[in-house]
Amino acid sequence: MDAGQHADAPKRSVLRSLLSFLFLVALVVGLSWLLREFVIQPYEIPSGSMETTIMTGDKVFSERVSYYFRDIEPGDIVTFEDKEIPGRILIKRCIATGGQTVDLIDGRVYVDGVALDEPYTHGLPSDPFASTLVDISYPYTVPEGELWMMGDNRTNSKDSRYFGSVKESSVTGKGCFIYWPLENFGVLQ
Residue among 17, 32, 47, 49 flagged as catalytic: 49
Interacting residues of 122 by C-beta distance below 8 A, sequence separation 6+: 52
Distance CA 129, CA 134 (A): 11
| Number of neighbours of residue 26 by Cβ within 10 angstroms | 10
Continuous segment of H or E residues that includes residue 89: strand 89-97
Is 92 catalytic? The answer is yes
> Which is it for strands 108-111 and 166-167: parallel, antiparallel or unpaired?
unpaired
Helix (H, G, I), strand (E, B), or coil: what is residue 122? coil
| Reduced 3-state DSSP string for 127-180 | CCCCCCCCCCCCCEECCCCEEEEECCCCCCCCCHHHHCCEEHHHEEEEEEEEEE
SS3 state of residue 56: coil
User: Is position 49 annotated as part of the catalytic site?
Assistant: yes
Q: Which of 92, 126, 160, 174 is catalytic?
A: 92
Angle at 139 between CA 136 and CA 142, to 5 degrees: 70
By annotation, the residues acting in catalysis are 49, 92
